[in-house]
Structure 1
């Protein structure tokens, strides 16, 4: 077995049963991985230096193909169901042996990384890839240990990633040819059948989401930044709501764009990089993220490139709307050096309301914050997902249900305790539609959203009048700088007020139906929010 790389751990691959391999490249930097990726024809280099790779048929996560091994030590803690699908230890072992056999004589790329910038809670992770570009992806996304740590690096979890290995559903007991299997007892993740790189980062997020609550740390699907006065803000939100965009604010220091923990010392980033959605990315609106698409070391997933000029077309969605830029966080000029911040002063919950009925910003009571955290609402629109023909409400508990192994109430309880202890202000921000729903109204201007967020974070909204929305009971500002008053009041932004009332009642009913499954897990104050919304639905009917 030929080993190459600047530092090789003394704890080798044999620990994981991997022997008789081909060349193994350990902890190569971006330049070295570029060389191997080009040699192996894994992608192309774009003008500016980014590496462009295609993921083929699978251009996003495959949540129905994600499994957790049903092991005695963890099975009582897992919220089993459609999100956390059980698989037997025997099936895991069968796929593990298949992967070992598949790797025989194969050239492999290994990165030893940390997940978690707080030394108290970081998880040492080893990622073993059959492709160089996937290895560059994880090098960008996770935290690079100091060289002295690499010599005795002992992984707490290992990812074995073999996109060329497909499972046989009839033989292996899987749903499809894709498999993402997590074993907490064996501290391993097996990923096969898909080239989509995001499966690796999200699998470790799921691992931390199981481990950290037992240590009294809240794992969060959120971005985070720090203001000039040292005030930390966190931004919850599902894909497409603006989590990455809004946290990359030149006036604030970026802690991270996607996954964080909140513990006794404050907020800390799980990652060392960012994974930004770049479809229709604008240099004018998002200059910091746009610049990463023209930088050596960035991995661009499914982005269209002119074969002759090597110029990118970020508006072209021929491969997918889910085009991505993966880059080290230091590519953002104002990124934090240590990935950590204090206890949040502001908590922002982002939603993309395609029905156009939620206000662009509303201040939440602690009970409302818990209600909306457990609801995790956003909306899908036509063209973003196969089969979606019209706006569809989507509820993802804790704004990250696919990655939460424990019951949502576990995370909600932790959040509620932290809000109460540290007195954070909570806000609901709608980055979706205004003046009508999708197809009639217009997407909220990012300038308005930034102005409202800045006013919330710097305290300006503490000195303006507020009104209360009759359908959701949300309090919203009636004035804020240059943002038009009719934009602040969603009903006034609609020309057809009766149509607004109908749409608002419809969405309120969807909230009510979704929240029913959480009512037995919340306190009386949160139940009151649900009861009030239910009363509004009945009144509208």
Structure 2
């Protein structure tokens, strides 16, 4: 490890699951095995991502590709050198250092070799689960394309130019490295790899997507786009379909491949009744973060979110019984479902989009940030997240939008807008409630079995969204939000939301073509 500056007394490389579990239990506080054998860990003070502390190094290789601004805040190269050395110095002070060598991307033509250097066995097991394990022979001459230095247990120095707090998450495309200081939340590593792929793939004219993916018995492929907590993992885990992946994919000229080797599911209120595939995946080898565990029985209480609302479980794909491995498919998507969590409670539970609407809503990325997924999010908050992936975009949203538009036109994919948020009223109102999962599943089933292609549709005012008037198992007052509200307040809410859409899209208006602009609200 000398090429990375790592000279710790004991370096453990690519340990098996049992060894990493043993080390975590013996070396880390508040760590235990659940009654089902999963490793239960604490991530410390930070229990969600820290997007305000993310920095991208300003250098000549990537500076003309990166979308500079609030998402990609620049860090001078000199500052990066200081931050990097601080991380290495801390790593070298630890008696145990863990190396995880693995791949990002199942497609042999487009995979990246990733090396993770960490000081916690929990972090090593997490990335072992979420990346793709190489064969033993591949490890003998493994030369990484991208290196993560995870020194998250040690604070950053906010006296360094460009560093604003004790937390620092830095990515350097010239050196192909990432450095983490001041946060032990494992999701930072996962999303760092995703951000890397969001940078690399468009350079090859490939489309990286914040999406889940599954495939039906007839080979039909569905992509679910959405922010964390909007339903990607839940809806793609379907007993009638094979899972490709739950969060990160790339759409190529041949089909779709998963970037990851595992899943990272939210655990709040997890039950076998609602989500059997995910519930049963929480076994030996899985990593469960920040949950409350009964000290006597070691049973996880998924309803207790006293540590954080953002309780999580990371498990390898093979923990899901109907997964497809290798996690890739040589067919193009039949359906794309844009997941929005509408806290205004006016977007229909499902709408059929034309290409112009699909592009407008993809670039807008209207949804809400779900409680706990980021530091400081304590209640559902309306947000516009470009491409349903704004925190992870390396390039301007229009780069991804143009790639998507080209593919939609080439492959005549059906596009749907699915509201997994509020119905009958806005969040916090007397009548407003989150749409029950059973209705959302019935809608997705109707998309997959083809009944929605031939359904009768009605147009929503202002947004011009076409929604079906009838779906088996879903009440009419759920499908038609205006009926569910039963008051004139609905119309006012629609107008208020339309104004928010128009205000948000001003950011992209100059870069958008005329057809995309036609997909937005009318007279907003």
Between the two proteins, the alignment pairs up a number of residues equal to 519
- Residues 494 and 92 of structure 1: CA distance in aligned 2, closer, same or farther (over 3 Å): same
Q: Partner of 2:40 in structure 1?
A: 52
Of residues 467, 475, 494, the one that matches 2:466 is 475
Q: Partner of 2:260 in structure 1?
A: 271
Structure 2 unaligned segments of length 5 or more: list them: none
- Residues 346 and 34 of structure 1: CA distance in aligned 2, closer, same or farther (over 3 Å): same
CA–CA distance in structure 2, aligned partners of residues 446 and 358 of structure 1: 16
| CA drift at 1:392 | 3.6
Q: Partner of 1:88 in structure 2?
A: 76
Of residues 125, 131, 138, the one that matches 2:120 is 131
Q: Partner of 1:463 in structure 2?
A: 454
Q: Does 2:21 match 1:34?
A: yes
CA–CA distance in structure 2, aligned partners of residues 184 and 385 of structure 1: 24
Q: Partner of 1:517 in structure 2?
A: 507
Partner deviation per Cα, 1:66-88 (whole Å, 9 max, x = no partner): 11110111101111111101001
Partner deviation per Cα, 1:217-263 (whole Å, 9 max, x = no partner): 10000000001100010000111211110000010000000000001
Of residues 194, 203, 223, the one that matches 1:234 is 223
Q: Does 2:367 match 1:378?
A: yes
| Preserved CA contact (<8 Å) 1:299 1:327 | yes
Q: Partner of 1:330 in structure 2?
A: 318
- Residues 505 and 335 of structure 1: CA distance in aligned 2, closer, same or farther (over 3 Å): same
SS in structure 1 at match of 2:337: strand
Q: Partner of 2:2 in structure 1?
A: 14
CA–CA distance in structure 1, aligned partners of residues 372 and 86 of structure 2: 37
- Residues 300 and 384 of structure 1: CA distance in aligned 2, closer, same or farther (over 3 Å): closer
CA–CA distance in structure 1, aligned partners of residues 404 and 489 of structure 2: 36
Of residues 210, 223, 228, the one that matches 1:221 is 210
Q: Partner of 1:310 in structure 2?
A: 298
Partner deviation per Cα, 1:288-331 (whole Å, 9 max, x = no partner): 101123x1011000011011211110011111100001000111
CA–CA distance in structure 2, aligned partners of residues 195 and 246 of structure 1: 29
1:410-429 equivalences in 2 (<5 Å): 410-429=399-418
Partner deviation per Cα, 1:368-399 (whole Å, 9 max, x = no partner): 00000001111247888777787642100000
| Preserved CA contact (<8 Å) 2:357 2:518 | no
SS in structure 2 at match of 1:250: coil
CA–CA distance in structure 1, aligned partners of residues 505 and 54 of structure 2: 25
| CA drift at 1:95 | 1.4
Q: Partner of 1:444 in structure 2?
A: 435
Partner deviation per Cα, 1:318-377 (whole Å, 9 max, x = no partner): 111000010001111111111112210100000111111011100000010000000111
Of residues 467, 482, 487, the one that matches 1:491 is 482
Structure 1 unaligned segments of length 5 or more: list them: 1-12
Q: Does 2:155 match 1:144?
A: no
CA–CA distance in structure 2, aligned partners of residues 470 and 528 of structure 1: 15
1:170-185 equivalences in 2 (<5 Å): 170-171=159-160, 173-185=162-174
- Residues 390 and 154 of structure 1: CA distance in aligned 2, closer, same or farther (over 3 Å): closer
Q: Partner of 1:192 in structure 2?
A: 181
